[in-house]
Structure 1
Amino acid sequence: MTPLTDKAPKFTRDLPEARRKQLIEATARSLARHGMEGTTVRVVAAEAGVSPGLVRHHFAGMHDLIAETYRWTGKEVDRALRASLAAAEQTPEAQLRAFVDSSFSEPMLDTDLLGVWLTFWSLTRTDPEIHAIHGKVYAGYRRRLEELIRELAVERKLKVDARVASLAFTALLDGLWLEHCLDASTFTAREAAMIAHDWVDNLIAGRFLAGAKQALSA
């Protein structure tokens, strides 16, 4: 994943798509450092080393640029996860554990990534386009986990609702990641991974939701 803190090179006579990418990366860095309120066309232009007019030439406005930055960030996170999964053994359990290890290692623990992600999350409730992008980004993430959990259930002959399990696993990973990035003194990345791996252990042992089902049937 591209580090958000890397300073972009000055523009040259590149193709329009390359210029758009540089502006998107500059926007991500600005969001990480200054938040939504401090990210303006002029700030992004200065970060990229271009004139404000060039930003307006490639994007309709800041809303358009923010939306494209969310799409790009989602793709970068997905690319990092895919690289970790590709390097792991191609079994459902190994892939799930690769998800865990990737979630609590660089570049996922980049604090600038947290700053960008929090901006997008804050806009999700009020901006329809950002809400739609958020839904698409997370749908792909959960779908991959759901497929792996379903494959694991078939392989281990487990009775598991893969959709519900993927929701639980996603919430666990996101919660641990968010809390660690907000305050790394609360627990270490290794401890976060250990908690998530324990969840996978319980899933394999057939203990996922077992307690809840017993309580509901009582």
Structure 2
Amino acid sequence: MQRQPKYSRDLPEERRRKLIEATARCLAELGVAGTSVREISLRAEVSPGLVNHHFAGKEDLIAQTYWQIGETVDRTLGAALVAAGPDPDARLTAFVKASFEPPILDSDLLAVWIGFWSLVRTDTRVFGMHREVYAAYRERLEGLLGAAAEKRGVTLDTRLTAISLSAMLDGLWLEWCLDPEVFSADEGCQTVLNWIGRLWAFPDTGNRSG
């Protein structure tokens, strides 16, 4: 019998993808402390030396994993907006609904984010990526809110309103991931949509002063 090779011989792009996916699994199951080059390479079925070949060490691989997950979230939300069409209300609603559906609403993703959050204060690269990812996220929210406000002739402080809406979405996502029996995904979605509806019912809320 021929002996099977110990490690896979994938193309470089495939190896990078496997390493990033393995890093996400390690972070979810073992946390940052338990995420080692050896553990990542075992799960990716590649030689440990390939980690340093494709990335500048474990920290770089974790940072790239953070970026990749942020890209996945961005693509998911972007696809929902495209499917919603041009109407501002439909687009804002689609954004909220997509936030309460897989792959964004995933309890396994919480453990991965906790690992990233623990690095934001200590790893300058992760901090920079965190700032960039969330800045793009809030900018998209500002645009959606601004378009919906313009449709109604309301002058809204889109920056502060986007920050508030982002905090609500993050908070409900976190609570659902910790204990999905407290409220359903549909209830979480409707809670946010009700809050947005009150923006238009009380248009002075969130208006830019001065």
Task: After superposition, give the CA deviation of every residue in 1:31-85 in whole Å (9 maximum; x if it has no partner).
Answer: 1111111110000000001111122221221111111111111001111111111
Q: 1:207 to 1:180 in 2, by over 3 A?
A: farther
Report how many residues are paired: 202
Inter-partner Cα distance in structure 1 for 2:20 and 2:10: 17
Q: Give the CA deviation at 1:89.
A: 2.9
Superposition deviation, residue 207 in structure 1: 4.3
Alpha carbons of structure 1 residues 207 and 186: separation in structure 2 relative to 1, 3 Å: farther
Distance 1:20 1:101 in 2: 31
Shift of 1:171: 0.6
- Quote the Cα distance in structure 2 between the aligned partners of 1:178 and 1:114: 7
Aligned to 1:51: 47
Write the distance in 2 (CA, Å) between the matches of 1:95 and 1:13: 40
Q: Which residue of 1 aligns with 2:9?
A: 12
> What SS does the aligned partner of 1:194 have?
helix
Pick the aligned partner of 2:85 from 82, 89, 98: 89
Runs of 4 or more above 4 Å deviation: none
Give percent identity, aligned residues only: 49
Runs (5+) with no aligned partner, structure 2 = 1-6
SS at structure 1 position matched to 2:33: coil
Q: CA deviation at 1:107?
A: 1.4
Q: CA deviation at 1:208?
A: 6.2
1:114 aligns with 2:110: yes
* RMSD of aligned Cα (Å): 1.8
Letter in 2 for 1:12: R
Map of 1:61 onto structure 2: 57
Q: TM-score, normalized by length of structure 2? A: 0.90
Which amino acid in 2 is paired with 1:19?
R
